[in-house]
Amino acid sequence: MAASDGAVQTDILISGGGIAGLVTAAAFGADGHRVICVDPAPPVTEEAADGSDLRTTAFLQPSIQLLERAGLWDLLAPHATPLQIMRIVDAGGAEPIARLVRDFDASDISDAPFGWNLQNWLLRREIAARLAEMPNVTFRPGTATVALTAREDEARVTLSDGTQVTARLVVGADGRNSVIREALEIGVKTTRYGQKALAFAVTHEIPHENVSTEIHRSGGPFTLVPLPDRGGKPSSAVVWMERGPEVARLMALPPEDFTAALNARSTRILGHLKPATRLTAWPIISQLADRFTGPRTALIAEAAHVVPPIGAQGLNMSLADLGLLLDLSRDDPGSRASLEAFQRRRWREARLRIAGIDLLNRASMLTPRALRDLRAAGLGAIYGIAPVRRLMMKAGLGVN
Ligand SMILES: Cc1cc2nc3c(=O)[nH]c(=O)nc-3n(C[C@H](O)[C@H](O)[C@H](O)COP(=O)(O)OP(=O)(O)OC[C@H]3O[C@@H](n4cnc5c(N)ncnc54)[C@H](O)[C@@H]3O)c2cc1C
């Protein structure tokens, strides 16, 4: 619909069509709102294409309810691999071998798995296809948000093609350097760890049996997350965190030397690992926006908070943001009362979760042997107390 001054009118304008923005568009669309979602970059929907996102997302139990509500889970479930056991391995001794292995089994706290793992490039393909079928949702890849004027009655956004859009609610899902956040002059607190994460897929000899394995030595965790078989072989996604110079060294190795380093770091827990895709590297930071709201505007996902990829928290926190925003937007999306409630309930929760993940990351980076021994002792002690173990598993899922 066009206003008298030629501006396009909508209920919800979403700045950013990363996975968080795409899910947000589907969810608000499924709730019956008129939605426009913009992103300067078209989604890359094939694994082998340049620029494809080779990370995977482990959607934890509460996120599945949100994906169901958005009409997405039926499309995604056939491609998802369940995560039944979270295995933590300490390999911090003199030699890179597994010296302490502890299994956290979802059946201790629930009938369902902890979560389901999906490839990010495939998520983009499936969600973009769903949006194309929704008459009340317009996805405009190739178009950026360039300016925002936010008032109590409406928000007005200027797009890179010159279009003016007025919305009852603008959702900033435009990533860690959010243009919407900057337009609202909201600051951020950022912690840099000097780490990067290598993300890629491997095939391996031993089936993963739906076990996600996190191996700690120094520099950061090394995680193997189950994927569907690839060419008849068991396959997993790897997230390998190290200090920046070590990541640069690893990426520059000839393929056979990289494979040797990969197998040493994995402690061969799944037998021989063979890289199955190119390598991608992601800088690791923690970041929290000073506020999550402005007039008629809410920040979600990495525009609001960024965490290191430990315990599959990042996008799961984002979907918790979205679930609350949807509930609060039933009557008047973007109303002052709804945004105040969003700020109150999500900002503190994000700050606490960032602090917890920051601690885990720092513990995982430890180099001195004595501290690594302490870390292993701590893991053994926590694991040994069943009620504490169950409490931690539930906290990781974000349920009570
Ligand atoms: C190695 C790794 C593994 C991870 N694994 C997990 C996991 O298992 N589980 C989990 O929950 N999380 C995980 N995460 C975190 C998760 O990947 C991120 O939280 C998520 O991808 C961020 O999504 P986003 O949509 O907020 O940001 P982005 O993916 O950065 O999307 C932002 C979008 O905004 C667009 N944009 C930028 N500027 C503009 C503009 N001016 N106008 C409009 N659009 C704009 C960009 O083009 C981009 O598409 C992982 C992260 C890493 C690094």
Instruction: Give pLDDT tens digits for 54-98.
Output: 999 999 988 999 999 999 999 999 999 999 999 989 888 888 888
Q: What pLDDT digit, counting tens, does each position of 159-192 carry?
A: 999 999 999 999 999 999 999 999 999 999 999 9
Question: How many percent of the chain have pLDDT more than 90?
Answer: 76
- Beta carbon of 90 within 6 Å of any ligand 1 atom: no
Query: For a substitution probing ligand 1, which of 19, 45, 160, 184 has the most ligand atoms within 8 Å of its CB?
Result: 19
For residue 391, pLDDT beyond 80: no
What is the CA(197)–ligand 1 centre distance, in A? Answer: 14
Q: What pLDDT digit, counting tens, does each position of 12-23 carry?
A: 999 999 999 999
What is the CA(130)–ligand 1 centre distance, in A? Answer: 19
- Beta carbon of 7 within 6 Å of any ligand 1 atom: no
- Which CATH number is associated with domain 8-45+124-190+287-360? 3.50.50.60
Query: For a substitution probing ligand 1, which of 315, 321, 353 has the most ligand atoms within 8 Å of its CB?
Result: 315
- Beta carbon of 85 within 6 Å of any ligand 1 atom: no
- Which CATH number is associated with domain 76-118+192-284+363-397? 3.30.9.10
pLDDT at site 400: 58
- Beta carbon of 218 within 6 Å of any ligand 1 atom: no
pLDDT at site 276: 97
Pairing of strands 222-230, 211-216: antiparallel
Q: Where are the domains of the chain?
A: 8-45+124-190+287-360, 76-118+192-284+363-397
What is the CA(120)–ligand 1 centre distance, in A? Answer: 10
For residue 274, pLDDT beyond 90: yes
Query: For a substitution probing ligand 1, which of 39, 44, 178, 279 has the most ligand atoms within 8 Å of its CB?
Result: 39
Q: What pLDDT digit, counting tens, does each position of 215-254 carry?
A: 988 888 899 999 999 999 999 999 999 999 999 999 999 9
